[in-house]
Every structure is written in structure tokens, then in C-alpha cells.
Amino acid sequence: MRTGVIRDFYATLDSDKIGFRENAMVVFKATPEICERAALMEETTHVVLREITLGSWPYNCYFMIHGVNRDVLEGAIINIMKRLGINEYETLYSIRNLLPEMPRRLELTNM
């Protein structure tokens, strides 16, 4: 880390094994500063600021959130959005994880 070869260490959790059964993407309109504030919250993951596509996709910020059930997610989302000062947003719940083995596959390809 001192020489800059390794930036940081991280772990990948098996969400099913730790009990996270629900995932949702929360989409909303925000200034870049508010989207960056969302990225600093410990409940959010995969926070992205993007351009609005007029006429088809009005949201320029989104994050993923994970929890043990939908009630937990909904409570956390309401809390996050209040802290951000955002009243209008959409919650898109995940139906199925299509890449459950992705972290393991990435690890194997980097050997």
C-alpha cells in the first residue's frame, strides 16, 4: 500500500449466507452533491450519478440497497431519502440475481 501497488483490500460477502434476501435499486433526481452524499451513507452500495435521458429516463442518481426482508429495506429507504431531502423517488425491487457466482468467477479469471 505504501508503494501504491495495492490501493485497498475488500471482501465480498455471500448475501444469501448472511441472510440478505431482498435487494432494491432506488432511483431519483439529484444534484451531483446529493448523489455524492448518498454514496457516503453506509446503507447504500453501487451509487451512480448519470445523465438524464429526456423522455425516457428522468433519474440521474441511483443506489442499491440490500436487506433481510422488504420491510427492512423500505424503512431504510425512507430514512435515507429523508436524510437526503429527496421526496420523489422510485424503488425497483430485484426479482432474481442472475450472476450469483460473479465474485468467484472474477477471482478465478485473475489467477
Write the pLDDT tens digit of every residue in 55-74. Answer: 888 999 999 999 999 999 99
Provide the CATH number for the domain formed by 22-95 in this structure: 3.30.70.920
Output DSSP code: residue 53.
B
What are the domain boundaries of the chain? 22-95
Quick: pLDDT tens for 20-42.
Answer: 788 999 999 999 999 999 999 99
Q: Is 27 left (phi over 0), alpha (psi -120 to 50) or beta?
A: beta
Model pTM? 0.77
pLDDT at 3: 83
